[in-house]
């Protein structure tokens, strides 16, 4: 089997988990390209295989993730495309990812939308991906491997619309309890938008912040989180509206 590279943008760690689960079905070690940190150009050969995972932010691939992924190019390189969402809506994210990969000369062999614990509203999709999800992801992975070996490309119509839905900026406030902050600066280093100043990491530039949750998830003191009237008002309604279990979907 050719060299496998996992490519992902995973501020909360859930998309990374799904991509790694797919990679575990391949033989040998994998190379990691974490777009939360990597922001450079990279070329892949015809012999490479890539597994590309993106979270869904309000029906789209995150803008920063899209910009960074667009710097990676293939040479008819086999690719598996995955978007991971919190049991709400995929909207145009999967078709956007497939389109972007094809534009960058990757040969998409299979695509999937998977479900994980919601990164903002923690009462949605708790415990996912669960054992049932993992079983389906493994089956999808084996099918994708077979398609790679057979030289197949994706044939199914991927759901979504062109033009894609407009990007939306969430109104929620990301704040830091400065009494807990120990100035480790982990949040500064992980923020893909450079929205946290290193001289005052308890501060956040909300005009730059994409609400990706990377700073919240990396904080060792649990000092960061969503606050404010808009968040508190939206939380119960969102969790109620998205309580019904959705299932992963696969396309070949």
Taking only Cα atoms into account, the Rg of the chain, rounded to an integer number of angstroms, comes to: 18
Q: Which residue in 58, 6, 13 sits closest to 216, CA to CA?
A: 13
Q: Counting Cβ atoms within 10 Å, is residue 8 exposed (0-12), middle (13-18) or buried (19+)?
A: buried
Topology of 173-227 in CATH? Alpha-Beta Plaits (3.30.70)
170-193 residue pLDDT tens:
999 999 999 999 999 999 999 999
Q: Give the confidence band of 2 by pLDDT, cuts at 50, 70, 90.
A: confident
Q: What percent of the chain has pLDDT over 90?
A: 98
Write the CA distances from 212 to 43, 55, 110, 153, integer angstroms.
27, 9, 26, 32
What pTM was estimated for this model as a whole? 0.96
Above 70 in pLDDT, residue 1?
Answer: no
Q: What is the DSSP letter of 81?
A: E
Write down the pLDDT at residue 52: 99
Q: How far apart are CA 124 and CA 141, in angstroms?
A: 26
Q: DSSP letter string over 226-237?
A: EESHHHHHHHHH
Mean pLDDT of 13-25: 98
Write down the pLDDT at residue 29: 87
Domain 4-163+247-251 identical in fold to domain 173-227 = no
Mean pLDDT of 231-251: 98
109-126 residue pLDDT tens:
999 999 999 999 999 999
130-169 residue pLDDT tens:
999 999 999 999 999 999 999 999 999 999 999 999 999 9
Task: Report, at the CATH architecture level, how domain 4-163+247-251 is classified.
Answer: 3-Layer(aba) Sandwich (3.40)
Q: Which residue in 118, 81, 116 sits closest to 102, CA to CA?
A: 81
Dihedral of alpha carbons 75, 80, 81, 85, sign: negative
Q: What percent of the chain has pLDDT over 70?
A: 100
Q: Tell me the pairing of strands 72-73 and 42-43.
A: parallel
Write down the domain spans for the chain: 4-163+247-251, 173-227
Above 70 in pLDDT, residue 100?
Answer: yes
Q: Give the residue carrying structure tokens 């938008």.
A: 193
Q: How far apart are CA 59 and CA 89, in angstroms?
A: 6
**Separation of CA 149 from chain center:** 26
> Are 230 and 173 a contacting pair, CB within 8 Å?
yes
Please provide the average confidence, as pLDDT, over all residues in the chain.
Answer: 97
Side by side, the strands of the sheet bearing 249-251 are 30-34, 4-8, 49-55, 77-85, 106-115, 249-251
């Amino acid at each position: 089997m050719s060299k496998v590279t996992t490519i992902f943008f995973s501020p909360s760690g859930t998309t990374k988990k799904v991509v790694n689960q797919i990679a575990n079905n391949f033989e040998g070690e994998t190379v990691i390209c974490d777009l939360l940190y990597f922001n450079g150009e990279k070329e892949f050969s015809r012999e490479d295989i890539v597994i590309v995972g993106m979270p869904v932010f309000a029906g789209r691939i995150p803008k920063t993730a899209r910009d960074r992924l667009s710097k990676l190019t293939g040479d008819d390189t086999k690719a598996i495309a995955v978007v991971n969402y919190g049991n709400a809506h995929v909207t145009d994210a999967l078709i956007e990812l497939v389109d972007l990969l094809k534009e960058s000369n990757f040969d998409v062999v299979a695509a999937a939308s998977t479900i994980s614990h919601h990164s903002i509203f923690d009462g949605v999709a708790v415990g996912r991906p669960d054992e049932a999800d993992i079983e389906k992801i493994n089956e999808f992975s084996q099918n994708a491997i077979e398609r790679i070996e057979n030289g197949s490309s994706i044939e199914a119509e991927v759901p979504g619309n062109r033009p894609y839905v407009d990007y939306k900026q969430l109104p929620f406030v990301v704040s830091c309890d400065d009494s807990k902050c120990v100035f480790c600066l982990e949040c500064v280093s992980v923020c893909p938008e450079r929205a946290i100043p290193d001289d005052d990491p308890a501060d956040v530039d909300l005009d730059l912040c994409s609400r990706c949750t990377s700073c919240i998830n990396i904080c060792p003191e649990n000092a960061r989180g969503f606050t404010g009237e808009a968040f508190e008002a939206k939380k119960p309604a969102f969790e109620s509206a998205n309580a019904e279990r959705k299932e992963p979907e696969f396309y070949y």
